[in-house]
Amino acid sequence: MSIYKRKEGQEQPYWPAGPFKVRLPFVHYRFEAPEFVQALIMFVVSLGMIPLLTEYLGLPYQVALAYVFIGGIGFMLPALLGVAMVPGWITPAIPVVLLFLGNFQPGPEAIQALFALQFIVFLIFFILGITKLGGKLVDLVPNSLKAGILIGAGLAALMGEIQNGGRLMNTPISLIIGSLVAFYILFSLSFKQLVENNKIAKVMANYGLVPAMVIAMIIGWMVSEYPMANVEWGITQPAFIEMWSYLPFAVGFPSLDIFLLAVPTAIIAYIIAFGDIIVGKTLLQRADNVRKDEKIDTNVDRVHLVTALRNLIHSFFAPYPGLAGPLWTPVHATMVERYKYGRKAMDSIHSGMGTFWIAGFIALFILPLVSLFQPVLPIALSLTLIITAYVCISVGIEQVHTTTERGVAGIMAVVLAIHGATYGLIAGVVLYFLIEKTTLFKAKSNNDVEDEVEEKKVI
């Protein structure tokens, strides 16, 4: 239950605060039980950042856990400030970030480098948000480039899992079965029909990716692809006091040359995050067409500002290899699908998204849950990447409508997936101006069309 009630066809109630729309649980939206339960399992994905923090920044485990708690606070900000997207990392950018960090020694040097990178990412989001160029950018970018970014990011995420040495190849039984279950529950047309007549199927649909993850974990334990958990009891103890010694305030701030070295990686990260924004907005627009009882505000400028704020907090208090991204694609897609079932299933898109990360933050304190899922963290991360790949590719294909657009998008996507976002973007822009703009100019010029007709008559 909540104090404020939404009238039919209107936006969910909020308190205006400049560019933000403040919503509080039980005041502006109700708690959603399926999202609460889903978060108690899905939160383990956020713990997957701990090995990267210990390896690349040289943090002790308890300090890395404290970093994750800072990240948990950031995950709750979008729902609080009026963004209708489930936030996450800039996941496909992680390999590029780790390549950048590999140039620095773990410890103060790497922490300074990651601060520089994340602060530049903050500046990009903030400038585009405050100038409102972010919202215009989404509309101005050609369809072929949107598609190329999305399909390329999807291919990159999938290739990382299925290549030799990837997690799916190393633990195929649990991950293949888990992926197939996830695809069936989230995207199958036959399952959607089954949900209408079967109570068990409806319950499974309400919990989205969780059934697939649980099945994959159980199979992984049964076939010994993953070790059994050593469950501990009590409350987690992140080292917040010790964490100060690993922050920029203590280790020092980076020099200008490190900032300059971080610029290309920051631009790549934003390009990928820009694709996430397109995916999130597209999925919300689909839901808005189905649910006429609620008007969803998909303000892209607000998404930029909140994402900027999260990256600013991280850069000073928990520099993060995953960075702070606008969208956790699989969970967002799952939640949007459940939202489409009607107001009884989920009262508001904000109630589902707000509930999820509040529950996820609470779960970080529950030591039995943290210790139970710790051995199978790779499953959670892999399923996230595989579902991200599916959604990115499907939404990317939706963006293109002509043969020319499909060709440009396809080439750009392959280059991006193999050689990175920088080369992918260059390839896409060059092909766009070389192929699409030439076609557009001819279409606009009546003289050119008449000349072509006359030439054909002469021939």
- pLDDT the model gives residue 81: 94
State whether 216 and 309 are in the same domain: no
State whether 82 and 121 are in the same domain: yes
Q: Please tell me the least confidently modeled range out of 57-66, 132-141, 303-312, 421-430.
A: 132-141
Query: Domain residues for 209?
Result: 172-225
- pLDDT the model gives residue 75: 95
Sequence-ordered alpha helix ranges (H) in 223-328:
240-243, 248-251, 256-290, 300-317
| CA–centroid distance for 184 within its chain | 21
State whether 323 and 353 are in the same domain: yes
Q: How far is CA 377 from CA 123, 148, 213, 227, in A?
A: 32, 30, 10, 11
% of the chain beyond a pLDDT of 90: 31
For residue 279, being part of any structural domain is answered with yes
State whether 91 and 221 are in the same domain: no
Q: What are the DSSP E strand ranges found in 19-72?
A: 20-22
Residues 379, 229: contact at Cβ < 8 Å?
no
Residues 81, 306: contact at Cβ < 8 Å?
yes
State whether 177 and 90 are in the same domain: no
- Tell which wins on pLDDT, 405 or 437: 405
State whether 268 and 137 are in the same domain: yes
- pLDDT the model gives residue 445: 44
Average pLDDT over residues 184-206: 80
State whether 238 and 97 are in the same domain: yes
Q: Comparing C-alpha atoms, which of 186, 160, 134, 85 is closest to residue 391? A: 186
| Ramachandran angles phi, psi of 15, nearest 5° | -100, 120
State whether 183 and 234 are in the same domain: no
Residues 331, 86: contact at Cβ < 8 Å?
yes
Question: Could you report how far apart the first and last alpha carbons of the chain are, in Å?
Answer: 76
Across 141-172, b (16+ Cβ under 10 Å) vs e yields bbbbbbbbbbbbbbbbbbebbeeeebbbeebe
- pLDDT the model gives residue 247: 94
For residue 457, being part of any structural domain is answered with no
Chain length of the chain: 459
State whether 433 and 290 are in the same domain: yes
Query: What is the spatial distance between Cα 202 and Cα 113, in angstroms, rounded to a whole number?
Result: 47
pLDDT at 442 over 60: no
Q: Residue 276 is encoded by which pair of tokens?
A: 């996430």
Q: Residue 133 is encoded by which pair of tokens?
A: 């160029």
The half-sphere exposure of 108 on its side-chain side, counting CA atoms within 13 A, is: 8
State whether 187 and 324 are in the same domain: no
Q: Comparing C-alpha atoms, which of 63, 47, 48 is closest to residue 111? A: 63
- Which of these three, 206, 225, 244, is where a domain ends? 225
Q: What is the CA radius of gyration of the chain?
A: 23
The vertex-132 CA angle with 131 and 135, nearest 5°, equals 150
Q: Residue 227 is encoded by which pair of tokens?
A: 């070790």
- pLDDT the model gives residue 343: 83
Query: What is the spatial distance between Cα 182 and Cα 444, in angstroms, rounded to a whole number?
Result: 47
The count of other CB atoms within 10 Å of the CB of residue 445 is: 11
The count of other CB atoms within 10 Å of the CB of residue 197 is: 8
For residue 265, being part of any structural domain is answered with yes
pLDDT at 5 over 90: no
For residue 450, being part of any structural domain is answered with no
State whether 290 and 407 are in the same domain: yes
For residue 3, being part of any structural domain is answered with no
Q: Please tell me the least confidently modeled range out of 78-92, 213-227, 323-337, 435-449.
A: 435-449
For residue 459, being part of any structural domain is answered with no
- pLDDT the model gives residue 52: 82
Q: What tens digit of pLDDT does each residue of 283-292 get?
A: 898 888 888 8
For residue 5, being part of any structural domain is answered with no
- pLDDT the model gives residue 4: 79
Report helix, strand or coil for 366: strand
For residue 414, being part of any structural domain is answered with yes
| Total domain count, the chain | 2
State whether 282 and 297 are in the same domain: yes
Residues 71, 357: contact at Cβ < 8 Å?
no
The count of other CB atoms within 10 Å of the CB of residue 111 is: 25
